[in-house]
């Protein structure tokens, strides 16, 4: 016999508490295989395809595209072990209107009397397995005894046409059915019906559904809202007459905004319209981190202009050498990027000034100095600002850094960065020169202790060897946590970086 299992949003790691549904990958009624992706979600870290650990037929989806879903909330339900009909039950198990029996006359059993449930696949996300599906309680239906209760004679079922009752129940039967529903789970399947009732303050336990076996439909809720509005407007006494039973319409419920408590005063201009944009996803996480950085870190900034002419010439020389000597081992390699050269300079500077490759643990009141350099770099995407991290940047050369920067930048643009590629940085390099600006005062990426900002490299008049000349000039700025070092250390770091930019041969002393 088929079981309807509920697949919930798993823990995506890194302290994430929820995700936004970007795109559904399956439809209701579609057959899914084990570990088949069923929904694409956007967390505060990256875009993730969530695979389902069950094989069967999708019987329901929870949440529209763009909706926020907390961890542990249901995503879909899957009928495992057999085909499912339109009501979410396996084929051949359609219940009668009153006694909950199958079409073949046998009684359905509670899920607790069935055999052990199927195990999950263990592959919802890498590092986060799925456990055995939780036991599901069967919804207590009107006219059907609860598990363990003594059996009572079934009442005759009313005549139906296409599954709809031809006449409403008697008042006494309706009261008894309502009392029975209040003792058990609310007979509602659609989350839309629950949301519509919740938004309008209706208690579903006090309602008698007009659907099959007492199921509360959207039409029931809308009729109750209409009746409540009519009574409030005309002061009529409540009526207990059954309302016409009409099939639910497939269109989503349109909930009107409540009217203002007070009408606007005549002669007072209306307030200007505003647009509220929720801070969620990547933008919300960045807002929290930047606010925390400004609140907790006593930062300071120093900057210096540097002549980058020799650095640009060195980069061009590397490119020409690879092109002119195809037999060389370096021929055919990636074109070295300016960002990779600056990153190599940063790792050399951090080796001389390790205080800036640190973080502060205020709970223990300690400065935590990191041995490895995990270099973050700011990348602007359509989804917002992200900071991918190059692991062990101090062990990489310019070619390796160029390749890794290219890979992480492409992953950031396509939204395929993993949480591990967005966390764990110890120092950040911010090349805001790509936006055509010269200088900035960067905000430290909490919990790091420093960030180096690089402006655009542009021709400017510069005194070179005692004469005025046009040189390629760049502005470098360093924002640092004053708790980990004083201005002398920060100034020494920035001066070493500027010296390497002006004379790349300085790096040869430390390679």
The predicted-structure confidence for 142-151, as pLDDT tens digits, reads as follows 444 444 444 4
Q: Give the integer Cα–Cα distance in Å for 77 and 190.
A: 12
In the predicted structure, residue 505 carries a pLDDT above the cut 50: yes
Least confident of 202-206, 276-280, 377-381, 445-449: 202-206
Residue from 243, 370, 446, 482 carrying the catalytic annotation: 482
Count of Cβ atoms closer than 10 Å to residue 304 Cβ: 15
Burial of 438 (0-12, 13-18, 19+ CB in 10 A): middle
Residue 50's alpha-carbon distances to 23, 41, 61, 184, 448, in angstroms, are 11, 7, 14, 33, 31
Q: Give the integer Cα–Cα distance in Å for 16 and 11.
A: 7
Per-residue pLDDT, averaged over 379-387, amounts to 82
Residue bearing the bigger pLDDT, 143 or 81:
81
Q: Give the integer Cα–Cα distance in Å for 357 and 346.
A: 10
Backbone angles phi, psi at 417, to 5 degrees: -65, 140
Q: Give the integer Cα–Cα distance in Å for 386 and 384.
A: 6
Instruction: Count Cα neighbours of 153 within 13 Å in the Cβ-side half-sphere.
Output: 2
Q: pTM for the full model?
A: 0.54
Burial of 325 (0-12, 13-18, 19+ CB in 10 A): exposed
The per-residue pLDDT for range 325-350, each reduced to its tens digit, is 777 776 667 788 999 999 999 999 99
Burial of 290 (0-12, 13-18, 19+ CB in 10 A): middle
Q: Give the integer Cα–Cα distance in Å for 153 and 462.
A: 100
Which residues share a beta bridge with 37? 51
Contact 280, 43 (CB under 8 A): no
pLDDT, mean over the chain: 76
**H or E element in which residue 173 lies:** helix 171-183
Q: Verify whether residue 482 is a known catalytic residue.
A: yes
Evaluate the omega torsion of the peptide bond into residue 142 and state whether it is cis, within 30 degrees of 0.
no
Residue closest to 71 by CA, chosen among 128, 28, 32, 24: 128
Backbone angles phi, psi at 490, to 5 degrees: -65, -40
Per-residue pLDDT, averaged over 58-75, amounts to 89
Residue 77: pLDDT band with limits 50, 70, 90: very high
Helix residue ranges, H only, 361-486: 398-414
Per-residue pLDDT, averaged over 303-325, amounts to 89
- pLDDT the model gives residue 269: 60
- Render 29-85 in DSSP notation, one character per residue: T-EE-TTEEEEEEE-SS-EEEEEES--EEEEEE-S-TT-EEETTSEEEEEEESS-B-
Could you give the 3-state DSSP secondary structure of residue 412?
A: helix
- pLDDT the model gives residue 104: 44
Q: Give the integer Cα–Cα distance in Å for 197 and 203.
A: 7
The per-residue pLDDT for range 155-195, each reduced to its tens digit, is 444 444 334 444 444 444 444 444 444 445 566 666 667 77
Residue matched to tokens 């991918």? 388
Residue bearing the bigger pLDDT, 346 or 258:
346
Contact 208, 177 (CB under 8 A): yes
Its sign, for the CA torsion 486, 487, 489, 490, is positive
Residue 22: pLDDT band with limits 50, 70, 90: confident
The per-residue pLDDT for range 87-138, each reduced to its tens digit, is 444 444 444 333 444 444 444 444 434 444 444 444 444 334 444 444 444 4
Least confident of 211-225, 235-249, 282-296, 414-428: 235-249
Q: Give the integer Cα–Cα distance in Å for 204 and 320.
A: 76
In the predicted structure, residue 440 carries a pLDDT above the cut 60: yes
- pLDDT the model gives residue 306: 96
Residue bearing the bigger pLDDT, 141 or 214:
214
Residue 45: pLDDT band with limits 50, 70, 90: low
- pLDDT the model gives residue 494: 97
């Amino acid at each position: 016999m088929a079981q309807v299992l509920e697949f919930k949003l798993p823990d995506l790691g890194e302290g994430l508490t929820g995700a936004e549904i970007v795109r559904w990958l399956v439809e209701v009624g579609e057959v899914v295989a084990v570990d088949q992706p069923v929904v694409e979600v956007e967390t505060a870290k990256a875009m993730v395809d969530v695979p389902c650990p069950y094989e069967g037929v999708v019987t329901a989806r929870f949440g529209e595209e763009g909706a926020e879903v907390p961890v542990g909330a249901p995503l879909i339900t899957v009928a495992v072990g057999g085909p499912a009909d339109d009501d979410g039950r396996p084929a051949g198990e359609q219940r009668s209107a009153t006694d909950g029996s199958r079409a073949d006359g046998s009684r359905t059993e509670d899920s607790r009397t069935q055999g052990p449930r199927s195990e999950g696949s263990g592959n919802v996300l890498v590092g986060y397995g799925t456990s055995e599906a939780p036991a599901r309680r069967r919804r207590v239906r009107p006219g059907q005894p609860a598990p363990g209760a003594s059996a009572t004679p079934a009442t005759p079922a009313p005549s139906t046409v296409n599954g709809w009752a031809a006449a409403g129940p008697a008042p006494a039967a309706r009261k008894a059915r309502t009392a029975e529903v209040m003792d058990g789970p609310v007979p509602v399947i659609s989350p839309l019906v629950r949301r519509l009732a919740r938004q309008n303050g209706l208690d579903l336990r006090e309602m008698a559904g007009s659907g099959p076996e007492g199921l509360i439909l959207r039409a029931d809720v809308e009729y109750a809202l209409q009746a409540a509005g009519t009574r409030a407007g005309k002061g009529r006494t409540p009526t207990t007459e059954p309302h016409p039973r009409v099939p639910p319409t497939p269109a989503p419920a349109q909930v009107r905004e409540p009217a203002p408590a007070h009408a606007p005063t005549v002669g007072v201009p209306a307030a200007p319209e505003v647009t509220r944009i929720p801070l969620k996803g990547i933008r919300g996480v960045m807002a929290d981190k930047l606010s925390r950085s400004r609140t907790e870190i006593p930062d300071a900034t120093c900057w210096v202009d540097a002549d980058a002419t020799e650095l640009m010439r060195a980069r061009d020389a590397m490119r020409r050498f690879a092109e002119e000597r195809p037999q060389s081992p370096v021929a055919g390699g990636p074109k070295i990027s300016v960002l990779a050269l600056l990153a190599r300079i940063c790792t050399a500077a951090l080796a001389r000034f390790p205080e800036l490759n640190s973080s502060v643990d205020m709970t223990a009141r300690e400065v935590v100095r990191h041995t490895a350099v995990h270099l973050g770099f700011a990348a602007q995407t359509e989804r917002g600002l992200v900071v991918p991290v190059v692991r062990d940047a101090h062990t990489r050369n310019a070619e390796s850094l160029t390749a890794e920067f290219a890979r992480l930048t492409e992953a950031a643009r396509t939204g395929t960065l993993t949480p591990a590629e967005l966390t764990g940085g110890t120092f950040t390099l911010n090349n805001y020169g790509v936006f055509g600006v010269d200088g900035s005062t960067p905000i430290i990426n909490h919990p790091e202790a420093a960030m180096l900002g690089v402006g655009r490299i542009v021709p400017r008049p510069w005194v070179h060897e005692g004469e005025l000349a046009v040189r390629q000039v760049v502005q470098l700025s360093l924002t640092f946590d004053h708790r980990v070092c004083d201005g002398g250390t920060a100034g020494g770091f920035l001066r070493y970086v500027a010296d390497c930019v002006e004379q790349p041969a300085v790096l040869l002393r430390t390679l």
